[in-house]
Amino acid sequence: MKWTRLNGQAIKKPIVTAVEDVLMHEKQLGNKLKVYIGTDSQVYGRTVNFATVIVFLREKKGGFMFVSKDKLVREMGLKERMILEVSRSIEVAYSLCDILDKHHVGLEVHADINTDPNFESNVALREAMGYIMAMGFEFKAKPNAFASSSCADKMV
């Protein structure tokens, strides 16, 4: 995955190194961080555009994020797309969990899936929740999943 900052500046280091640099820098500044990871997608014909974000929130001091964008050209159903979004978030969370644990930084994985059964995305809720929790991550879905439903949504 290629990562950028919100302003489009490329992150040239491996993402684990870049995240650790951020954690150490913020700690030196006296900031307490929590990390949120989420993915959203949009379908345009046969093309599915994905955006995955790593959101860093400073306690009472705002935040910032890293972004990775990607696209697949193939048709897929809604449930498959929702699970693929979750899979991308878990892949990133898994790659970062050791470094976050080392620095005692909390992590949540956010899924752009509605908890209200009246919404179509709810079809993937059980599987997504089970997948994320089985990997040992804290899980949030809409309306509490701002990393995916707000931050990634704006980037896709």
Which of the four CATH numbers 2.60.40, 1.25.40, 3.30.420, 3.40.50 does domain 4-155 have? 3.30.420
Classified as helix, coil or strand, 1 is coil
- pTM beyond 0.75: the answer is yes
Domain boundaries of the chain, sorted by first residue:
4-155
**Residues 90 and 137: beta-carbon distance below 8 Å:** yes
Contact present, 115 and 122 (Cβ < 8 Å) = yes
- Cβ-contact 103, 31 below 8 angstroms: no
Q: Give the mean pLDDT of 10-16.
A: 97
pLDDT tens per residue, range 52-68: 999 999 999 999 999 99
Q: How confident is the model at residue 121 (pLDDT cuts 50, 70, 90)?
A: confident
